[in-house]
Structure 1
Amino acid sequence: MVLGAVGAALAAPMGSTFAQAFPSKPITLIVPWPAGGSTDRHHRVLAEIASKYLGQNIIVENKPGGGGTIGPGAMALTAKPDGYTISQYPMGMLRVPHMQKVQWNPLTDFTFIIGISGYTFGFTVREDSPFKTFNDYIEAARKAPGKIDYGSTGIGTSPHLLMEELSANAKVQLNHIPFKGNADLMQALMGGHVMAQSDASGWDKFVDDGKMRLLLTFGEKRTKRWPQVPTAKDLGYGVVSTSPYGLVGPKGMDPAVVKVLHDAFKKALDDPKHAEVMAQLNQEVWYRSGDDYARWARETYVKDKRLIERLGLAAK
């Protein structure tokens, strides 16, 4: 008992001293998508702003693949819980484990730091596509089941699952082609390798430049930036999705270090420069404290299990 008390007394000052000194070197922020996409654009700006408040650089490291799960998953398995390696945590983290075996637990192997934002999802085609409206695309799928394709950012991601849900509601069979992220997906669409793409708003500049046509968005209401474009809800397909995301670290992080990171990124969320990139991506801030974010993740994990089972995508 005496030894335990002495150990606890020694550990407390050491832990608090470490937190007071944090950060004393650059922090790595894993973005589990290719460089140049909407998530990468957002996190590079966010990292730049937060680094001012932390007094250390935040280095963005792109680790795409697995529908956004490879980067955070690798962090959970290999990174020290010292606050120097953190990651974006996309919705796929709460879905892929229902669809295939993974080496990490999406809830217990992570420390939830802060909820940040949610995507504006849309469905786009090239400007020379024969599909002038989304209903044109669906009608083509009715006439040629399994022959009409679209790309997404990976199996189990929101752009994939919302189209699975929509096609089930519309009673059509589409051909899904997964990619590592929206940067390579957009290249494939522009190169004519896929007919259409379901993705977050990294397509914004292509739409505004007239190189792509935005046929549909998936929010609760129409976007401010493209108010003429109907939602899936408007057209009666019954699918609404924003796919919130935030930042996490490995499990077992010092709560004082988590607070330092949370407070810096919270200030970054409120920064006018961050508001500019949010407007460009047509996204809203989705702030959640670490505790609230973890609670949301637990609830969503259970809810999305039912969705994946209903779509017939659960692991056998």
Structure 2
Amino acid sequence: MYRRSLLALAAAPALARAQGFPDRPVTLVVPYAPGGSADVLARVLAPPMSEFLGHPVVVELRPGAGGNIGAAHVANGVRADGHAMLLGSISLATAPALQAISFDPLRDLVAVAALGAVPSLMVVSPDSPFRSLGDVLAAARARPGEVTFGSSGPGTGSHLAGVLLAAQADVEMTHVPYRGSGAVYPDLIAQRIGFLLDGMGSSAGQVTAGAVRAIGITAPERSAQFPDVPTLAESGLPGFEFLIWLGFFVRAGTPEPARQRLEAAVLHALSLPGVQEKLRQSSTMPLPPTGAEFGRWFAADVERWQGLVRQGKLARLE
């Protein structure tokens, strides 16, 4: 059903085609290091997008500052003509709340289309007494501040997921940051920390290998890969959702026909069975795909993180 919807959207009239867009290669800026999920997925989508547009889509890596360097380049440093796109992530929503940046994502960028999102698994040591989210929350309420959760560093997805969980459950838990997700697992397994909320791209393999035990997932629905793992929403936190998302943006002021043409190219690529299989393998789930739908979803995500800062439940990093 999702693929049929994408095919219909991609086949919609492409106004910009008649106006000769694009007339040269399109640069797809990935603001993260080589080999990461954003880089890998960008290179999966670039060839079918190139074929659709009739010009190459060239992946350009501009890593640094948690994605803000590449994002600022597209927001402030390129012509607003559609020949440069950004593959942005959740950091676009969290950065304005957490730190000073040189651009305003809602003012300076316009959504083209969503790529998808990866949920996180709530994992514990195989020997942990925590068998469910309810166990974790009961312990946190009985002993405020004593339940700990690890992360791969301040401001990372695993940190933000833990903060969001504590805020929505109205409990006090202690954040223990590490340098990268690989450093967290030994302490998690040894029960030196209580739990970890880690993206399925890295946590699923640990669960499958039996190194850790999954007690919840941050998606709105259960995962086909782990059908026995309940969502956190059904485990005592109604409406809870945390997704590490990816989506395409252009600089504000880009002509709407050009944005529509890029949107159609993305939706065409996402409709292909081979691309959908790659997304499935990377645990990527669909989001509202069109620029209009994704733009509204993105704006709500920005507001969610800014609201947590205003409420004093999330501290700025500076």
**Is the structural similarity TM-score above 0.5?**
yes
**Which AA in structure 2 matches 1:175?**
H
Q: In structure 1, what is the equivalent of residue 263 of structure 2? A: 262
Q: In structure 1, what is the equivalent of residue 230 of structure 2? A: 230
- Normalising by structure 1, what TM-score? 0.75
* SS of match in other structure, 1:20: coil
* SS of match in other structure, 2:113: strand
Between Structure 1 and Structure 2, whose CA radius of gyration is higher? 1
CA distance, structure 1, for counterparts of residue 269 and residue 131 of structure 2: 38
1:252 pairs with 2:253: yes
CA distance, structure 1, for counterparts of residue 33 and residue 145 of structure 2: 31
CA offsets per residue over residues 249-291 of structure 1, 9 Å max, x none? 2222233332332111110111101211222233322243323
Q: In structure 2, what is the equivalent of residue 301 of structure 1? A: 302
Structure 1 stretches of 5 or more lacking a match? 1-15
Percent of aligned positions with the same letter in both sequences? 21
**Which AA in structure 2 matches 1:229?**
V
C-alpha contact 2:110 2:251 (8 A) present in aligned 1: yes
**Which AA in structure 1 matches 2:105?**
P
Q: In structure 2, what is the equivalent of residue 24 of structure 1? A: 24
User: Are the structure 2 counterparts of residues 122 and 23 from structure 1 closer, same or farther at C-alpha, using a change threshold of 3 Å?
Assistant: farther
The RMSD of aligned alpha carbons is 3.5
**Which AA in structure 1 matches 2:293?**
D
How many matched pairs?
292
CA distance, structure 1, for counterparts of residue 304 and residue 87 of structure 2: 21
CA distance, structure 1, for counterparts of residue 185 and residue 19 of structure 2: 48
Structure 2 stretches of 5 or more lacking a match? 1-15
CA distance, structure 2, for counterparts of residue 147 and residue 217 of structure 1: 19
Following TM superposition, by how much is the alpha carbon of 1:26 offset from its aligned partner in structure 2, in angstroms? 5.3
Report 1:99-178 matches (<5 A): 99-125=98-124, 130=128, 133-134=131-132, 145=145, 148-152=148-152, 154-155=154-155, 159-168=158-167, 169=169, 171-177=171-177
User: Are the structure 2 counterparts of residues 307 and 60 from structure 1 closer, same or farther at C-alpha, using a change threshold of 3 Å?
Assistant: same
Q: In structure 2, what is the equivalent of residue 49 of structure 1? A: 48
CA distance, structure 2, for counterparts of residue 291 and residue 81 of structure 1: 18
Runs of 4+ in 1 over 4 A off after TM superposition: 16-19, 129-132, 134-144, 190-196
Q: In structure 2, what is the equivalent of residue 12 of structure 1? A: none
User: Are the structure 2 counterparts of residues 252 and 245 from structure 1 closer, same or farther at C-alpha, using a change threshold of 3 Å?
Assistant: same
User: Are the structure 2 counterparts of residues 178 and 247 from structure 1 closer, same or farther at C-alpha, using a change threshold of 3 Å?
Assistant: farther
CA distance, structure 2, for counterparts of residue 208 and residue 37 of structure 1: 21
CA distance, structure 2, for counterparts of residue 146 and residue 124 of structure 1: 18
CA offsets per residue over residues 171-200 of structure 1, 9 Å max, x none? 232224266xxxx42x22356598453232
- Normalising by structure 2, what TM-score? 0.75
Following TM superposition, by how much is the alpha carbon of 1:292 offset from its aligned partner in structure 2, in angstroms? 3.4
**Which AA in structure 2 matches 1:188?**
A
CA distance, structure 1, for counterparts of residue 98 and residue 278 of structure 2: 33
CA distance, structure 2, for counterparts of residue 210 and residue 60 of structure 1: 37
Q: In structure 1, what is the equivalent of residue 184 of structure 2? A: 189
